[in-house]
Amino acid sequence: MKKLVCLALALCMVLSLASFASADAAGKVYYLNFKPEADQAWQDLAKTYTAQTGVEVKVVTAASGTYQQTLTSEMDKKDAAPTLFQIGNAEGVVTWGEYALPLDGTELMNEMTTEDFNLKNADGQTVAVGYCYEAYGLITNKALLEKAGYTVADIKDFESLKKVADDIHARSAELGFDAFTSAGLDGSSSWRFSGHLTNMPLFYEFRDDGITEQPATVKGSYLNAYKNIWDLYIADSAADAKKLSGYTGADAEKDFYDGKAVFFQNGTWEYSALVGEHGMKAEDLAMIPIYCGVEGEENAALCAGTENCWAVNGKASEADQKATLDFLKWVVTSDEGTAMMAKEFGPIPFKAAKASENVFFNDSTALLNEGKYVVTWAFNYTPDVDNWRAGIVSALEQYSAGAADWGEVEYAFVDGWATCYTNTH
Amino acid sequence: MSRSKKMADGALTSPLIRKPIQRMFAVFLLPTFVCFCIGFLWPFIQGIYLSVHSFTTTTNVKYVGFQNYAKAFADQGFRQAFGYTALVAAVSLVLINVLAFFVAYALTQEIRGRNLYRSVFFIPNLIGGIVLGYIWKTIIDSLLPVSMSIQANYGFWGLMVVMCWQQVGYMMIIYIAGLQAVPMDMIEAARIDGANGWKTLWNITLPNVMPSITICTFLSLTNGFKLYDQNLVLTNGAPVRRGIGQTEMLALNIAKTFSTANQRGVAQAKAVLFFILVTAISLIQLRATRSKEVQQ
């Protein structure tokens, strides 16, 4: 009996080591999805596609914040690696470009309405296509703003924004709400400032200098504008500037949907949380550009760009590559696919795109229709993103608490960029 | 040697028991050995192999020689992390062991409810590092004028508080076991010879608990060097001054390096260096304290 048990145990061990990879001549799709909130939609869409065409589509979603680790270990499975994955930015191209199939001239690319959101490698080949875009700015509670005696139209530039915000903050006790939500520097919130807000000085600097690919150094010529807006965020909010690392993203969100603050710097992706989960009224919401005191900024639209780009695994078998490209084409052209994309990702840059009900996207489009310029996502060029941002967060935290002067932020921004670039090239 | 231990040894040397055990040794050892190979030996060898390569995934690597090691040594952040880790390990070693010894000493005296106290001191050790770290971060930050991630010395002492709170109870249990094994006749003899409490402690108790001290210093030293969870949660290396995390320890530095584009090989080289360092320090420390142990 004992021997039998031993044998059984040993067998279990050996079997668990063996892998059951099977080769499929017809080609199959394995999508390593990046957004947990869209997992169910992708699973359903995959089932529909398999039912219609018989092609196997497997969708796996990495847990929030673990995409890079999951991608690394999945890509290691030679025969069972993802055929479709995500590249987010220039740094992603450095790491994963070697694994991405150049997509120029594919039917998928021919369906696109703009190539603005695509990522190219050093040879100029398109290695990932931006399949949706997002926009961010100052989400504004119009109802509260009116209660304070203003309208969105009163805010045209940094000067007017500051005037409104300072006034609301000064009367916050009487009004029962403040101007800005907490500018939390906890990891769940700090990316709004180390990533999205740093885009303002980066965008204007790159625009002036005509930079169109990742630069080795930056000058920080618009850091004054960054200081303007940051000072405003911490001065005109109820949060304690000395303890910003204690405020989370959820805290800021709560300030906003509880009606404790008028402005909330965030993006189009917040729409479903604010309206769907927290019951805010869509007609009370608007998204206005982040004004920070740059000349001509009254003509700026929202910051639009993406970190959502599809890349096809160039090391997968040809059958799998073809199956994957066919699947993608179906996603952006079929009725089922475009409906899902519009619901989950808003307007997509493809010819067959369906309209979205997200008011933030509509604000973004309205501003563009007025002939205003898009503030593109210049931060996608950031080298060694995590470390560069960590430096900015720490500097902002020290500066806000009065433990360091603004020079620390400048150092993190300018010198930090150079260091991060050298480390990764 | 105690009577029961002698009996057990006698039983094991009996051929009646030894023979079947010898015949079946593979059944007992093989599963553990296989697990050891899969979980430790193979990754370890592969780790060394990868440290001389440039790679994104482990199946697609490019040989680069000792370039990764050169980069690791040239990294100022790594050197800073090394110094900071050594400081944390040294200070925590002293604090944890001194505190644990005195708590153990107090709880081997005749006091009411000492079992309850022992449990209370031991319980923090059962809570995971991340959870504990978040709770302590909230507590400590709310007490300080500015957050730990702004002032490096707050971060340092905050870390000490958390490490002591978590590890003192565990070390205390080991010290209690050691203290209870100190022969009463030796203490009695010392007392008859006129030794006071302090002298008894210094000349009788301490030399007799030396094995416990060896284990505890070994554990707290390696714990100090390997610390990651609490460091990650409490400050995550912040404040960053001139691009260098002031409270970043080695393990955190290595993990951060790994998540940087094109730096995975460098992170691997750092990990190998880290292994050599921790092993060397532990061996030296074991040898040093072993020599002070007394045979009974």
Q: What is the CATH number of the domain that holds A68?
A: 3.40.190.10
pLDDT value, residue A17: 46
In this structure, the answer to whether residues B213 and B154 fall within a common structural domain is yes
Number of H helices, E strands in chain B: 16, 4
Quick: pLDDT tens for A281-324: 999 999 999 999 999 999 999 999 988 999 999 999 999 999 99
pLDDT exceeds 80 at position B101: yes
Chain A 71-130, residues with CB within 8 Å of chain B CB atoms:
72, 75-76, 78, 91-92, 94-96, 98-99
Residue A17, domain member (yes or no):
no
If you search the block for the tokens 């108790």, which residue do you land on? B205
Structure-block tokens of residue A111: 């369906």
In this structure, the answer to whether residues B9 and B146 fall within a common structural domain is no
pLDDT value, residue A155: 95
Residue A404, domain member (yes or no):
yes
Helix, strand, coil percentages for chain A (3-state, nearest 5)? 55, 15, 30
Residue A9, domain member (yes or no):
no
**Count of positions (residues) in chain A:** 425
CA distance A203 to A211: 9
pLDDT exceeds 80 at position A13: no
Question: Structural domain tally of chain B?
Answer: 2
Give the Cα-Cα-Cα angle B234, A73, B245 (nearest 5 degrees): 25
Buried b (16+ CB within 10 A) or exposed e, A71-107: bbebbeeeebbbbbbbbbbbbbbbbbbebbbbbeebe
Q: Inspect the interface and report whether the beta carbons of B147 and A243 lie closer than 8 Å.
A: yes
Question: Structural domain tally of chain A?
Answer: 2
ipTM entry = 0.73
CA A173 vs. chain centroid, Å, equals: 35
pLDDT value, residue B1: 41
Nearest to A160 by CA among A255, A259, A232: A232
In this structure, the answer to whether residues A229 and A372 fall within a common structural domain is yes
Nearest to A422 by CA among A217, A127, A133: A217
Helix, strand, coil percentages for chain B (3-state, nearest 5)? 75, 5, 20
In this structure, the answer to whether residues B36 and B121 fall within a common structural domain is no
Region A206-223 average pLDDT: 93
Q: How confident is the model at residue A66 (pLDDT cuts 50, 70, 90)?
A: confident
- B227: helix, coil or strand? coil
Structure-block tokens of residue A124: 């100029």
Q: Which of B38, B58, B145 comes nearest A76 by C-beta?
A: B58
Residue B213, domain member (yes or no):
yes
Quick: pLDDT tens for A374-422: 899 999 899 888 889 999 999 999 999 998 899 999 999 999 999 888 8
What DSSP state is assigned to residue A103? -
In this structure, the answer to whether residues A226 and A277 fall within a common structural domain is yes
pLDDT value, residue B295: 61
In this structure, the answer to whether residues B45 and B119 fall within a common structural domain is no
pLDDT value, residue B12: 66
Q: Give pTM, 2 decimals.
A: 0.79
List residues bridging with A322 in a β-sheet.
Answer: none
Written as one letter, the residue type at A275 is: V
Range of the domain at A85: 25-133+306-351
What DSSP state is assigned to residue A378? G
In this structure, the answer to whether residues A179 and A255 fall within a common structural domain is yes
Range of the domain at B18: 3-50
List residues bridging with A267 in a β-sheet.
Answer: A136
Chain A 229-258, residues with CB within 8 Å of chain B CB atoms:
242-246
Q: How many Cβ atoms from other residues are within 10 Å of residue A44's Cβ?
A: 13
Nearest to B169 by CA among B221, B230, B116: B116
Indicate the pairing of strand A57-61 with strand A29-33: parallel
Q: Show which residues on chain B lie within 8 Å of chain A, measured between beta carbons.
A: 27, 30-31, 34, 38, 56-60, 138, 141-142, 145-147, 149-151, 236-243, 245, 256, 259-263
In this structure, the answer to whether residues A382 and A270 fall within a common structural domain is yes
Residue A358, domain member (yes or no):
no
In this structure, the answer to whether residues A57 and A185 fall within a common structural domain is no
Quick: pLDDT tens for B150-195: 889 999 999 999 999 999 999 999 999 999 999 989 989 998 998 8
Region A60-74 average pLDDT: 88
Which of A190, A382, A398 to probe by mutation at the B interface, max B CB count within 10 Å?
A398
**CATH classification at residue B113:** 1.10.3720.10
**Count of positions (residues) in chain B:** 296
Quick: pLDDT tens for A91-108: 889 889 999 999 999 999
Q: Inform me whether the C-beta atom of residue A424 falls under 8 Å from chain B C-beta atoms.
A: yes
In this structure, the answer to whether residues A42 and A59 fall within a common structural domain is yes
Mean pLDDT score of chain A: 90
Long-range contacts of A199-202 (CB under 8 A, 24+ apart): A199/A303, A199/A375, A199/A377, A199/A378, A199/A379, A200/A225, A200/A226, A200/A229, A200/A290, A200/A292, A200/A294, A200/A303, A200/A375, A201/A225, A201/A226, A201/A413, A202/A378, A202/A379, A202/A381, A202/A382
Nearest CA in chain B to A421: B261
* Cβ contacts of B109 within 8 Å, gap of 6 or more: none
Shortest distance between the Cα of A224 and any Cα of chain B, in A, equals 20
Rg, Å, chain A Cα set: 24
Region A21-37 average pLDDT: 77
Residue A393, domain member (yes or no):
yes
CA distance A269 to A36: 13
Give the least confident one: A123-127, A198-202, B10-14, B124-128.
Answer: B10-14
What DSSP state is assigned to residue A145? H
Nearest to A260 by CA among A168, A360, A160: A168
